[in-house]
Amino acid sequence: MTDAARAPRVAIAVFPGTWSERDFAHVVESVLGWEARLVWHADDDLGAPDAVVLPGGFAHGDHLRTGAIARFSPIMRSVEAFAVAGGPVIGSCNGFQVLTEAGMLPGALLRNDHLEFRCEWQSLRVERPGSCSVWFGDMADGDLIRLPISHGEGRYVADEATLDMLERDGRVVLRYADADGRVTDEANPNGSQRGIAGIVNERGNVLGLMPHPERASEAEIGGTDGLRFLRSLERWLQEQPAAAERRLSSG
Amino acid sequence: MGGIGLTMRWLAEVHVALRSGIADPEGQSIGSALRALGYPTVSEVRSGKLMRIAFEADDSDAAEAAVEEMCRRLLANPVMETASWELRADEQQDVEAANP
């Protein structure tokens, strides 16, 4: 048993057109000293990971709809099974779009209301993170974090009943906010309904968010708020005897 | 698909549109452009997708069922879109030839 054997192992899905997988792998390996494994979309073996990342990009060219074709890639069967078993899954940007198309999260992400691609730093308000201790254990209700966004199709849409349900159950965990933490139309970069930037599944182990945590993980490039998701994951894994056991026995 | 000798070629024109109530910024932008070009009476534009699909099926019932399934499984996302289609026997044999 070595420290290396205890390091969390993160599987990162790579579709044709994915572009954030190496940034995520860099953060996982070089910033945190964990183990990252890139998994090609046609491969359904995730390699017994502690968590799965669906990174940003343009999977399968985003043809038809963002994420619409990616959901049929063989790897998604394994990702769904992993999530159903309670495994931590994070989908950022295009990964969020894939999760909604796959039906693993409700709603859909449509063309930004102003039709422009937005690539900029964005303030986000953390809400009721207790519903998602996997990814938010290191954050508190009302925390303001800054992450880059980089998307042309991030307008979150769902019917009113679904939106009400998500809010009632504490599943809206991130909203676009201004520098003072106010959720306003002006602070909303894409026209998302109710300023929604990130939601979780019913169980709280699957998180979809439009911003890019991996691009805010080193002070040298502008901020480290993105690391808080992975620090939360680390804490959660340590609190899971089964997951810890798995890492020890496989290490 | 069906048995050899029975199969017919079909052409489906599938229209995918955003559900009513879902904002369509592309349509709004097109509408603004049309009004700027001198069509002030244009009150609304809704954009969408048109897909022409050539395929084979034994009869019209099977062809209809196949298109319905294609729409449900891939072509439209029911969260924000609706699909409608026109189906006809394809005498021209391919999609390119069907384009005007």
Query: Which residues of chain A have a CB within 8 Å of the CB of B79?
Result: 100, 106-108, 157-159
Cross-chain Cβ contact B80/A64 below 8 Å: no
A90 inside 8 A of chain B by CB: no
A14 vs A38: CA distance, rounded Å:
7
CA B91 from centroid of its chain's CA atoms: 19
Q: How many CB pairs under 8 A join A and B?
A: 34
How close are the terminal C-alpha atoms of chain A, in Å? Answer: 7
B39-66 mean pLDDT: 96
The reported pLDDT for the residue numbered A240 is 84
Domain B8-95 matching CATH 3.30.1280.10: the answer reads yes
Check residue B96 and give its pLDDT: 56
pLDDT at residue A78 greater than cutoff 90: yes
Check CB contact of B37 with chain A, cutoff 8 Å: no
CB contact (8 A) between residue A106 and residue B79: yes
> pLDDT of A25-59, one tens digit each?
999 999 999 999 999 999 999 999 999 999 999 99
Task: Answer whether residue A104 shows pLDDT above 90.
Answer: yes
- CB of A87 less than 8 A from some CB of B: no
Q: Is the pLDDT of residue B100 over 70?
A: no
Q: End-to-end CA distance of chain B: give it in Å, rounded.
A: 29
DSSP state of B22: S
CB B19 within 8 A of CB B77: no
- In chain B, the percentage of residues whose pLDDT exceeds 90 is 81
**Residue A199 sits in a domain of what CATH number?**
3.40.50.880
Q: Which residues of B touch A114 (CB under 8 A)?
A: 25
* A65 shares contact with chain B (CB less than 8 Å): yes
Model confidence at B91: pLDDT above 80? no
CA distance B62 to B19: 27
Confidence band (pLDDT; 50, 70, 90) for A244?
low
Inspect the interface and report whether the beta carbons of B25 and A114 lie closer than 8 Å. Answer: yes
Task: Kindly tell me the sign of the dihedral angle through the C-alpha atoms of A28, A29, A34, A36.
Answer: positive
Nearest to B29 among A110, A115, A159 (CB): A115
**What pLDDT shows up at residue A2?**
39
The closest alpha carbon to A143, from A169, A156, A125, A121, belongs to A125
Split at pLDDT 50, 70, 90, the class of A4 is very low
> What are the angstrom distances between the C-alpha of A219 and each of A32, B18, B69?
14, 42, 50
CB contact A116 to B (< 8 Å): no
Record: contact B74-A64, CB cut-off 8 A = yes
| Residue range of the domain that includes A210 | 3-250
Q: Which single residue is written with the structure tokens 């899905």? A: A13
Number of structural domains in chain A: 1
Residues of A noted as catalytic:
93, 212, 214
Domain boundaries, chain B: 8-95
For A102: left if phi > 0, alpha if psi spans -120 to 50, otherwise beta; the answer is alpha
pLDDT score at A246: 60
The mean per-residue pLDDT over the stretch B95-99 comes to 54
pLDDT category at A176 given cuts 50, 70, 90 is: very high
**Using CB atoms, which residue from B23, B79, B80 is nearest to A113?**
B23
Least confident of A41-45, B31-35, B65-69, B89-93: B89-93
Quote the mean pLDDT of chain A: 93
pLDDT tens-place string over residues A124-160: 999 988 888 899 999 999 999 999 999 999 999 999 9
Chain B, nearest residue to A71 by Cα: B74
pLDDT score recorded for residue A251: 44
What pTM does this model have?
0.90
